[in-house]
Amino acid sequence: MKKINLLLVLIFFSASQLFLSCNNSADYSGVEEMVEAAKKNVASITVEEIKLKIDSMEMFNLIDVRIRSEHNHGYIPSAINIPRGTLEFKIANDKYWSNEGLYLPNKDEEFILYCKKGSRSALAAESLMKLGYKNVKYIKGGFKKWELSYPLLQEKNLEEESGHQEEEVGGC
């Protein structure tokens, strides 16, 4: 009887530890702490590695998670703009991809996300991982690092901004 009770206690303890460890909700003292936690959970890639991938015509999904006005003022060639606020809703939406003239990517493909400096894209990448995407990275240093490293290798859509003057938008 003692062995059975001990076994039941061990099973209960193991199950409760498993349940508690699956509850990954954390309280953060600020957004910086939240971003740092995300960066520990998501792989990063450098702008030099992205440049090599582009030059070798490697296939991957490059997603700019900045808002449209930021994207239009300059983006990495071949990037698609899906702002962070709508990413989770659009990433698996076949109609969205079809409207963009692209195919719906599967969860095993490589996704590389970027924002201005890397914070929003780290959070967005972590979100995609929670949705089951397997190969997700963010660009360390974001578009700012790309712009400084490769100033002539960017595209712009300023005509969509109706003559809007370039301005600093978004802090992270």
- Indicate the pLDDT class of residue 164, thresholds 50, 70 and 90: very low
Give domain status of residue 129, yes or no: yes
Band (38; pLDDT cuts 50, 70, 90): confident
Looking at residue 6, its pLDDT comes to 52
b/e sequence 83-104, b meaning 16+ C-beta within 10 Å: bbeebeebbbeeeebeeeeeee
- Domain residues for 128? 30-161
Looking at the structure of the chain, the number of domains it has is 1
Report the helix count and the strand count for the chain, using DSSP H and E: 8, 5
pLDDT confidence tier of residue 159, bands split at 50, 70 and 90: confident
Q: What is the mean pLDDT of residues 16-38?
A: 72
Classify residue 22: in a domain, yes or no.
no
Predicted TM-score (pTM) of this structure: 0.77
Q: How distant, in Å, are the alpha carbons of 58, 97, 102, 134, 168 from that of 92?
A: 22, 8, 12, 14, 31
pLDDT score for 29: 87
Contact 96, 57 (CB under 8 A): no
Please state, in angstroms and rounded to a whole number, the distance separating the CA atoms of residues 114 and 120.
Answer: 8
Within a domain: 57: yes
Mean pLDDT lowest among 26-40, 85-99, 117-131, 138-152: 26-40
Within a domain: 46:
yes
**Is residue 17, in this structure, part of any structural domain at all?**
no
Identify which has the larger pLDDT, 22 or 79: 79
Q: Is 70 exceeded by the pLDDT of residue 87?
A: yes
* pLDDT tens readout for residues 97-147: 999 999 999 999 999 999 999 999 999 999 999 999 999 999 999 999 999
Domain harbouring 43, CATH code? 3.40.250.10
Structural domain contains residue 171: no
In a domain, residue 121? The reply is yes
Mean pLDDT computed over 34-38: 88
**Residue 10 counted as domain residue:** no
Do 51 and 141 meet the contact criterion of CB atoms below 8 Å apart?
no
